[in-house]
Amino acid sequence: MKQLFFDKIAYDRQVCDFCGTCVGVCPQDAIELTEADFTITERCTLCKNCVRVCPLRALEFIDER
């Protein structure tokens, strides 16, 4: 089941291996990652860097036009 952040970024915990690649590219330091948990904080500006670099595609940007 995917978790939604800000109704725009979907996160699939079953796919994520907690590698931390997304954390390293976030210019706002908005991603908090532990060995068992993933959170995108209110500092997120929806730049989509995390979505672009996720090697497992555990993050997805939901574009509702």
pLDDT tens sequence across 5-45: 888 999 999 999 999 999 999 999 999 998 888 999 999 99
pLDDT value at residue 65: 58
pLDDT value at residue 48: 95
Distances (CA, A) of 15 to 18, 38, 43: 9, 12, 24
Which tokens sit at 5? 């952040």
pLDDT value at residue 32: 95
Contact by Cβ (8 Å): 34, 49: no
Q: How confident is the model at residue 54 (pLDDT cuts 50, 70, 90)?
A: very high
Contacts of 64 (CB under 8 A, 6+ apart): none
Phi-psi label, residue 59: left if phi above 0, alpha if psi -120 to 50, beta otherwise: beta
